C-alpha cells in the first residue's frame, strides 16, 4: 500500500492530488429502514481497512504528502430481499458472510415494514493528499 | 437480482466536495467494472482506469467511453509518465 502511494506520487503533477476512499474499520451493519438487524461478518476486512489507514499515516510521516481534506459519508447497498443481499455480500465482499440469526431478524423486520428494503450500511472516509512542499 | 449501490449518490457528493475532475487527467486505481468511473468520467479530460481483474475491466471497456482507457493491471505494474496525472483516485483499493 505504501508502495502504491509512492508510485502515485511519481505519476502526479506538481499541483495534483491523491484521493483515497476506503471504509472505516467500523463493522458494516444490516438495516431495514432505521432498524439495525445485525452486522456483516467481514472476515479480515477490519484489518485490511486498518492497514490502509496505516499506509496513509506512513506516507504522511515520510513527508511525501500532506493531508488536504478529509470527509466521511455513509454508503448503502440495497437488496430487494435479504437473500439477494446475502448472496451479493458473500459473492462480492472478501470472505464476508451473514449469519442465520441476522438473516432471520432482517426477514422479521421486512415483514413488519411494508415496502422497505434491506440494506448494508458502511461508513467510508475520503482523504485527499497533496505532494508535500507545493 | 436487484441490488442497488449508493442510489443516494453519497459517494459522488463526497468526492465532488473534495476534488474537481473538470479537465483533469485521472488515474483510477481499482476501477472494477467502472461503477464509480461511469459517474465522474464525463467531467474529466481523460481517465486511465486500472484493475487487475480482467473481466471487470472488460466490462468497463465495453461501455465505450471515449475518454476512458482501461488496463487490466495493478498499480504496481502500470506504466505512466512522471507528472502526467492530475488526480490519482484509489477507489476502495488501498
ipTM, two decimals, is 0.94
Residue A15, helix vs strand vs coil: strand
Q: For residue A98, give how far its alpha carbon lies from the nearest alpha carbon of chain B (Å).
A: 16
Residue A87, helix vs strand vs coil: helix
B10 within a domain of the structure (yes/no): no
- Residue position matching grid coordinates 474499520: A25
| Count of CA atoms in the C-beta half-sphere (13 A) of A35 | 15
Q: Which grid cell is A87? A: 448472496
Residue A67 confidence (pLDDT): 95
Question: Each residue of A82-122: pLDDT tens digit?
Answer: 999 999 999 988 889 999 999 999 999 999 998 999 999 99
Return the closest-CA partner of residue A62 out of A125, A9, A127, A134. A9
Complete DSSP assignment for B12-73 = HHHHHHH---TT-EEEEES-TTSTTHHHHGGGSSEEEEE-S-HHHHHHHHTT--TTEEEE--
Q: How many domains does chain A have?
A: 1
Q: Is the Cβ of A23 closer than 8 Å to some Cβ of chain B?
A: yes
Question: Each residue of B18-73: pLDDT tens digit?
Answer: 999 999 999 999 999 999 999 999 999 999 999 999 999 999 999 999 999 999 99
Q: Is the Cβ of A88 closer than 8 Å to some Cβ of chain B?
A: yes
CA distance A14 to A6: 14
Question: What residue of B is the nearest CA neighbor of A79?
Answer: B3
Q: In which domain, by residue range, is A62 found?
A: 2-131
Q: What CATH number did the domain enclosing B78 receive?
A: 3.40.50.150
Q: How many domains does chain B have?
A: 1
Residue A134 confidence (pLDDT): 64
B33 within a domain of the structure (yes/no): yes
Please check the confidence at residue A133 and state whether its pLDDT lies above 80.
no
B1 within a domain of the structure (yes/no): no
B36 within a domain of the structure (yes/no): yes
Q: Which grid cell is B12? A: 459522488
Give the A:B interface size as CB pairs under 8 Å. Answer: 123
Q: Classify residue B5 as exposed, middle or buried by CB count within 10 Å of its CB (0-12, 13-18, 19+).
A: middle
CA distance B52 to A38: 33
Contact A45, A96 (CB under 8 A): yes
B56 within a domain of the structure (yes/no): yes
The angle at the Cα of A117, spanning A111 to A119, to the nearest 5 degrees, equals: 120
Cβ pair A13:B83 closer than 8 A: yes
Q: Which letter does DSSP use for residue A41 in this model?
A: B
- β pairing state of B3-5 and B25-29: unpaired
Which helix or strand (DSSP H or E) is residue A54 part of?
Answer: helix A45-61
Residue B85 confidence (pLDDT): 97
Question: Each residue of A3-39: pLDDT tens digit?
Answer: 899 999 999 999 999 999 999 888 899 999 989 999 9
Cβ pair B5:A3 closer than 8 A: no
Contact A14, A132 (CB under 8 A): no
The angle at the Cα of B48, spanning B82 to B55, to the nearest 5 degrees, equals: 135
Please check the confidence at residue B1 and state whether its pLDDT lies above 60.
no
Q: In which domain, by residue range, is B27 found?
A: 20-90
Q: Which of B88, B89, B93 to mutate to test the interface with A (most CBs of A within 10 A)?
A: B88
Q: Which grid cell is A78? A: 440495497
Amino acid at each position: 500500500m505504501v508502495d502504491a502511494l509512492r508510485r502515485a506520487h511519481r505519476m502526479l503533477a506538481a499541483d495534483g492530488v491523491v484521493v483515497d476512499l476506503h471504509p472505516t474499520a467500523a463493522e458494516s451493519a444490516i438495516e431495514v429502514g432505521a432498524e439495525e438487524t445485525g452486522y456483516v461478518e467481514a472476515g479480515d476486512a477490519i484489518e485490511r481497512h486498518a492497514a490502509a489507514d496505516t499506509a496513509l499515516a506512513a506516507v504522511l510521516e515520510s513527508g511525501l504528502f500532506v493531508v488536504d481534506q478529509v470527509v466521511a459519508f455513509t454508503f448503502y447497498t440495497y437488496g430487494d430481499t435479504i437473500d439477494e443481499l446475502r448472496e451479493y455480500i458473500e459473492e462480492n465482499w472478501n470472505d464476508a458472510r451473514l449469519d442465520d440469526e441476522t438473516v432471520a431478524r432482517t426477514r422479521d423486520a421486512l415483514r413488519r415494514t411494508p415496502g422497505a428494503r434491506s440494506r448494508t450500511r458502511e461508513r467510508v472516509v475520503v482523504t485527499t493528499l497533496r505532494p508535500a512542499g507545493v | 437480482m436487484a441490488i442497488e449501490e449508493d442510489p443516494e449518490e453519497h459517494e459522488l457528493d463526497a468526492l465532488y466536495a473534495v476534488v474537481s475532475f473538470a479537465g483533469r487527467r485521472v488515474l483510477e486505481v481499482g476501477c472494477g467494472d467502472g461503477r464509480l468511473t461511469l459517474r465522474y468520467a464525463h467531467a474529466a479530460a481523460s481517465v486511465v482506469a486500472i484493475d487487475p481483474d480482467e473481466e471487470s475491466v472488460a466490462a468497463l471497456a465495453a461501455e465505450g467511453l471515449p475518454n476512458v482507457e482501461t488496463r487490466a493491471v495493478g498499480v504496481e505494474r502500470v506504466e505512466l509518465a512522471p507528472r502526467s496525472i492530475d488526480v490519482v483516485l484509489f477507489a476502495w483499493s488501498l
